[in-house]
Structures are given as structure tokens and as C-alpha cells.
Amino acid sequence: MEQLLPFLAHMSCHLGVALFLSTLIFIFFRSWKWVAVCFVASFYTDADHLFEYFLAHGFEFDWKSMVTGEYFVTVDKRFVFFHSYESILIAFALVLFKTIKWQAALAYSLGLLGHLMVDQFSYPLKPLAYSLTYRWINGFTPEAFGS
């Protein structure tokens, strides 16, 4: 229970930021579709932790290890591909190629950026920890990430 409380507090921060940013999206666009894009982007980002977890433990799932982040200790790489500033650039590049609407790119980017800011200020990370390019150049090492 003691280890569950920090996790719930952190997820509550993500929820609060997601609701705030989604409200801003609604105020500006009056579209539930863009609200959903922003809100989902705020949370789907953490799906990459499952990839890291399965790298560490295979398909034996231990909820405690997942929630507390203990699995990070056994993995010598920090991929977390969805946690990247570059995906914001990709979203706006897709706008330039007319693949997606600019409202979608903005809603997605705002949701992702909100998620990354909560993480950046919640954990002792390096300033470029969420740059995929920076992590790639440094071999995805924990040291490049800040942990």
C-alpha cells in the first residue's frame, strides 16, 4: 500500500493536467473530438512502459514491479519511445504533408507535452531526458535519462 500511494499521486497529477489541457482545447475548438485526442495523448504515452517492463521481466507480470518502477533497475536501457519531444515535431510535420489536421496535431502535442512536464518535474531527470534523439545518441543508457 505504501508504494501504491506515490503512484496514485503521480497519476492524479497526470489526470489533473489532462483535464485542464482538455478543457483549454474545448474552449478554443468547441470539439469533443479534439478534447479526446488531447486527453488520450496525455495517457497513452505511458503505454511504452509496458514495452520496458516486458524487456525486463518477459511476460511474467508483477503489478507491484510495474507500478513502483522496480523493473527499471533490471533494464540497462531507457527506450520509452512515446515519451519524446520529437513526436510533437512529427505531428506538425504530418500537418505540413496534409496527413492530419492542425487541430489534431495541437491537441495531441498539448496532451503529450502536459504528460512530459508532469514527469519532468516529478522525477530527477536530465533536461533532455525526453529527447529521443539525445537518448539515442547516448545509447538509451539510464545515465542519459538521468536515472
pLDDT in tens, 94-128: 999 999 999 999 999 999 999 999 999 998 899 99
- What is the pTM assigned to this prediction? 0.90
The CA-atom distances, in angstroms, between 26 and each of 18, 40, 54, 103, 147 are 12, 14, 36, 11, 37
Contact between 136 and 86 under an 8 Å Cβ cutoff? The reply is: no
pLDDT in tens, 45-73: 999 988 888 887 888 888 888 877 777 77
The H or E element containing residue 70 is: none
Contact between 124 and 69 under an 8 Å Cβ cutoff? The reply is: no
Phi, psi of 95 (to 5 degrees): -65, -45
Phi, psi of 141 (to 5 degrees): -70, 155
Q: Output the nine-digit C-alpha cell for 13.
A: 497529477
Note the pLDDT of residue 1.
Answer: 58
Q: Supply the DSSP symbol for 99.
A: S
Distance from chain centroid for Cα 117:
9
